[in-house]
Structure 1
Amino acid sequence: MEKIKVAINGYGNLGRAVELAVTGSEDMELVAIFTRRDPADLETASGLAVAQSEMAKWVGNIDVCINCGGSATDLRHQSPEAATLFNVVDTFDTHAAIPQHFAVVDQVARENDRLALISTGWDPGLFSLNRLLGESILPQGETYTFWGPGLSQGHSDALRRIDGVASAVQYTIPNEDALESIHAGEQLELSTRDKHRRECWVVLEDGADGEAIREQIVTMPNYFAEYDTTVNFISQKEFDRDHTGMPHGGTVIRQGQTSDGTSQVMSFKLALDSNPEFTGSVACATARAVARMAAEGARGAITLFDVPPVKFSPEAPEALRKRLL
């Protein structure tokens, strides 16, 4: 069987993780890593760096391009631009802006006869699927999503985009008391602020105004304004010692009733040593699905909601039915 030819667009933490996932998949072949940097100066595990300005030369040689920029600024432009040339996957994770991003990418993909899947990963992504399943199976009930404890790539990227910030990470901390109560079947009315708090660890550039940066962080819409957010300023030495790991995780809980007095709880949990490596693995499986669906004629923008689960697996449907059903 001919291998699926994959390109990576952007080579940060997620790009490196996708490279690891794709090169570890027997049915896939990594053919290019597009970068804004000078390819001669970019060290990649596969040695496949190509200037982003050369992307158009690869049309016809790539089945799917996985866009690995950040959601705060990159993917809003990166995904529609790449969709003029290739079938694409992205991990756009600014939840409030997903409908707008979908509309833009959908128009571009349809105009250029491409298929584009946006917002894959684990939230949005796998958590979204579990929210959908929970509401469909238990229509009378409540859904609760808790993130962390762990490092958020998207929120950390948003911090690093602020002028005057040299290095930064953000940890999402769930309300463990609320989580335990909901798992036990107790119904709670929780605001966004009630469910989580955010901890930011920031290294300032020389001469940067810390209080101004703190204010910019805690008032940032869609990222920090809706939460109790703590901003801690530390040295680069402390940052390198204590904040270079990337754990994360979370839980989706659907609590519902199927009859009077009969309570049901569905739960899906992730505990991740490496947020980017897990997200890269989800993006890799998603790219497989996009390549297959595009070959079957699917076009425009889609999300994980629109993908038959069998498309994610390298195995044949009959093998999956025999082994997993």
Structure 2
Amino acid sequence: MAPIPRLAYKPLSILTGALLGAIGGPSSTPSPADGKNATVWGTEYSGMASVVDIRLVAANSTESVELSTNTTTPTPSPTHIYYQADENNFSACNGTVVFTNTDNVVLLNTLQFGNLTDTVAKNSTCGQWIDITSRANTAQTIKAQIVGACDECEYGSIAAPVHVLDVLAPELNLKKLTFDNSTTAVNIANATDATKPVSSKNVLPISWQLTKGPGQEDEEDTTDPENPSATPSPTKTKTQPPKPEPTKPTPPPPEPKPVVKKYTGRGTWFSDTSGQCEHDFSQSDMIVAVNEAQMGKGKNLCGRKIEVKRKGYSETVVVKVVDMCPSRYCDFGDLDISKGAFAKLAELKVGVLELEWNFVDDE
């Protein structure tokens, strides 16, 4: 692989972000005295999204926390810390939620998170999923899982990693910015120099509501009326009495059109002639290497067809998945395409394109 190198953003320490209150003292927005949250199914909430790196690591709940700055601080409550489960996984909420550094996860403000000491209780939102929408562009949405509480977030607000917020606001180019939690940092709305730190606080206006997680979409909604914040549990489908046969056959309703899931990312070209799918190809072929976050180490996407277009242009090209682009070169949504495919969208000397793409075949 030979993509053009990408600019990496400087992660915001979770200690100086969502966990400042948990480590430094009482929260500025304490949770309700009864430990219950104020998050109700079917209700949309509005607030702001802040940037935070939630990959803080400690060996266990009794040891001190080793930060990237090589400073040591006493361990806060396990509700507010994320332990490394193995080389690539992290666990949160007393070990009840496990995620990787590429998963879509968020921290929820303490007023709506619920019980901070017993995260497996029915009045905790830990592990639940939310649908997040950009209020600046309501067409941009993403689903994410709640893995902890954000002490500095106001009611209705969240904190999330850059790769989550980048989906909601790709126009901000968050991955190219350096974030700072200090009060002197420049507000993102006033940022004109990409080399100067930008405040990590309240970078994007958002709205959100509780939703079912992956694999739960087809389950019957059985929300507990006494505890509307609890995750709905699946139940058996009720048996309906047989309907009388109509006198005349009625045609079946038209099948709904499938929703095409679209992705955005950076596009580069590469020069390989073999890849993870284990067959040779030519650079004149219409082929693509998918980023590791979506492709993984396996071959599930091998042979899939992808329609690619340059953002803001109408010209499209259909390419076939033959390889994986490692995470050190490609972030979530990025594609590395052949020279032949790249040339249909722009001249090779352009080097990097902003792409919009989607799968065009059935899974």
Give TM class, smaller chain.
Answer: under 0.3
TM-score normalised by L of structure 2: 0.23
TM-score normalised by L of structure 1: 0.24
Q: Which has the larger radius of gyration?
A: 2
Higher helix fraction (1 or 2): 1
